[in-house]
A and B are shown apart, each in its own frame.
Chain A
Amino acid sequence: MGFLLRLLKLNTRFWRNVWGSIHAPYATYRSLVADDPEQLLVLVGLMAIYFFLVSPLKFRTFHPFLLTINASRLFTTALTTYLGVCFFFLSLGWVLGRKANLRGVMLAWGFTLVPTLTWFFTTSMFYVVLPPPRHETLPGIIFSLLFITFSISLLFWKGLLYYLTLRFALKLDLWRIIGVSIVFFPGLFLFSLWMYAWGIFRVPFV
């Protein structure tokens, strides 16, 4: 019973922070970096559920062994990427002489995966409900514009949370954030190309 209560509290805290990151991201991130890191388990759970649900769709098979292998591969890659980025930011923070701690970076960067997961989940859902290709008809154009708007909005949200991660977890000012971004984005681009070449992710789950 105690375990269930703890799980419920973590869940509530997690979703409250997700809502905060939408409605008041600045204030939410300010307190998030000192919050309970266990709520990231909710995020990890959601990622695991997503990758296991999307595997039949992505790999066009219901073979249990293949599904397990592929879903595990996607999940492990996403988790490794997340940890890699956290340690990368932490290292850059130390190089720049900032007192960053792993908990703050993991929490802040973890919540930037919420827009990523939202986009992936929604895109997968639309792949089933309205499979591509889209056509040059009025409904097709309207849906395309709305879908692109949705994707760009989530990208902006992700960008905002990325900025707040560097601001509150690493305690950087704008010029250092720009400096870190100059190092981070080319590396991210190369990593994305590598993921695409290996057939793991077309759009990087980062």
Chain B
Amino acid sequence: MTKKNKKGKTSGESDSGLIDITQRKFRWSDYLAEKIIKGVAFLSITIIILIFIFVFRESLPIFASAKSAEHTEAASTSTEVQETYGEVTDQSNVEEVQETYGEVTDQSAVQETYGEVTDTSSTKSPAESYAVSDGSGYDDNQSALKSLASKDWYPVSEKPRFGLYSLIIGTFKITVISILFAAPLAILAALYTASFAGKRLKEIIKPTIEMLAGFPSVVIGFFALMVLATFLQEVFHYDTRLNSFVGGIAMGIAAIPIIFTITEDALTAVPKTFYEASLALGASKWQTAFFVILPAATPGIFAAVLLGIGRVFGETMIALMATGNAAQMGMNPFESVRTLAATIGAEMAEVVFGDTHYNVLFLIGSVLFIFTFVINAIAEFYVKGKLMKRIQGK
């Protein structure tokens, strides 16, 4: 009915001259409302595109300036950043974010590099540093582009090196640890609520895990920093208190509700006929749960784990608080690490706008954005298609 009306709106009256009761008068208010609503609905698409454009745009100068590097080479000897080197120590008592920065980690190497950040920002007032984008970038940019593949992350040393390698290793290490921790727990718990739990138990488990989803990540990070780190250190006896293991567990806690909810949805979406057929063939309850329901929902569980990975990959506050924040290469889970997201969170407030360091941080942001976008797209299209096919038997 309504669809017909919409089409008929502009044509007004029918050809026969009689009043057509299926056609309504054209109303401006209705027309406007529809257009406005439609326009607003496109906002979410627009935002995605804008995020892509603006995050990527700020990282572009690294690539662009590599070309123009030759003609600035002459001026490359001047170093502006390092002149106020010694001031760091004097100001360490002043209560500003920049100055007390080094205390996030115990690693002295990192403290050094942090200290240098302070120099650039403390020579200018905060307000100024936002407006000024000093053009020191060009020769830095070229070497920065080269250093991206290296392993050293010393963004503000005399010769800045922006090696993403150790950050990427650190991020993956954390992701693997947290998924190894969270995925089995969440999937088994979901299997329990979907297949075994009685109604009353279900009504306790599900809201509790929903509650966990409501824990702000900074609270989980605080818990990890204050309690979990000490507890795990006492159990496992390792040296560095904050390391990728603690961070991984804490991020796993944050990822559990996501994996649980989506897995549970996938498990309950398996048609009842599957369940009944299996029982009718003589299988027991656990056999049905394990060999019928679980396999039927695999694509959904895969999607759940993917989204869990996406969550951990981009988690910032827990990484900042519980991983130790030292860019190290080793595979030892009890070493401090530094993740991509934490690097942005820790350093963005201190960099000078338009600096190479600033651009590199935006480049890291673009990497994170593309990674999560792809993960979401896979979870959305590939997995859903497969799930539907399997359940509907096509």
Instruction: Decide whether A and B assemble into one complex.
Output: no
